[in-house]
């Protein structure tokens, strides 16, 4: 199989993202108060894993054993899922965590073939609200509440 430009671009992008995380981790203060694990550990771990995975994919692409292009039938599903993620990121701050998570849930479910928008919205809001309450109230992690921010 001939190496495709798309697979090459994905491999280079994954390596680049990993290097970006590794370089960015250098700017994080390295205090490791508990068991030698500080705030730099996770970005270094993820960045290193991305560099390794991207490098393996790049080798595969360069050897001509790249993965085939996805069939056209899967592209609409990918569009639904990506639109859900993009909208969630854009609406995270103005609407808050729970509504943006619900939007991402509904559009991702649609990408996987769900037809009941109302049920997906109710489930997404319930899950988003539960995660918001656990993180913001129980764990003390600051998430944008949007309309739920009654402090």
Is the pLDDT higher at 136 or at 107?
A: 107
Is the pLDDT higher at 48 or at 144?
A: 48
- If asked whether residues 80 and 57 sit together in one domain, one would say no
Quick check: is 104 in a domain?
yes
Question: Residue 1 above 50 pLDDT?
Answer: no
- If asked whether residues 57 and 86 sit together in one domain, one would say no
Instruction: Quick: pLDDT tens for 41-71.
Output: 888 899 999 999 999 999 988 888 766 666 6
Q: Which of 15, 40, 62 is the last residue of a domain?
A: 62
Please give the mean pLDDT across all residues of the chain.
82
Quick check: is 93 in a domain?
yes
- If asked whether residues 51 and 113 sit together in one domain, one would say no
- Which domain covers residue 90, as residue numbers? 75-148
Which residues make Cβ contacts (< 8 Å) with residue 14, sequence separation at least 6? 50, 53, 54, 57
Mean pLDDT over 14-31 rounds to: 87
Block residue for tokens 């056209």: 72
DSSP letters, 37-72, are B-TTHHHHHHHHHHHHHHHHHHHHHHTT-PPPPPPG
Mean pLDDT over 29-48 rounds to: 77
Quick check: is 68 in a domain?
no
Q: Give the single-character DSSP code of 34.
A: B
Quick check: is 52 in a domain?
yes
Tally Cβ neighbours within 10 Å of residue 12: 14
Task: Report the number of distinct structural domains present in the chain.
Answer: 2
pLDDT at 77: 86
- If asked whether residues 55 and 85 sit together in one domain, one would say no
Instruction: Return the minimum-mean-pLDDT range out of 54-68, 118-132, 137-151.
Output: 137-151
Torsion angle defined by CA atoms of residues 98, 100, 105 and 110, in that order, rounded to the nearest 10 degrees: 150
């Amino acid at each position: 199989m001939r190496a495709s430009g798309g697979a090459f671009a994905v491999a280079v992008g994954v390596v680049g993202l990993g290097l970006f995380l590794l370089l960015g981790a250098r700017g994080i203060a390295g205090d490791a108060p508990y068991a030698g694990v500080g705030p730099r550990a996770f970005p270094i771990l993820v960045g290193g894993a991305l560099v390794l995975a991207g490098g393996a994919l790049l080798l595969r692409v360069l050897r001509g054993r790249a993965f085939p292009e996805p069939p056209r039938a899967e592209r609409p599903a990918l569009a639904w899922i990506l639109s859900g993620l993009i909208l969630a990121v854009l609406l995270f701050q103005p609407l808050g965590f729970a509504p943006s998570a619900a939007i991402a849930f509904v559009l991702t479910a649609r990408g996987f073939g769900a037809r009941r928008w109302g049920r997906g919205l109710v489930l997404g809001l319930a899950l988003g609200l539960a995660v918001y309450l656990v993180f913001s109230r129980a764990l003390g992690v600051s998430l944008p509440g949007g309309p739920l921010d009654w402090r």
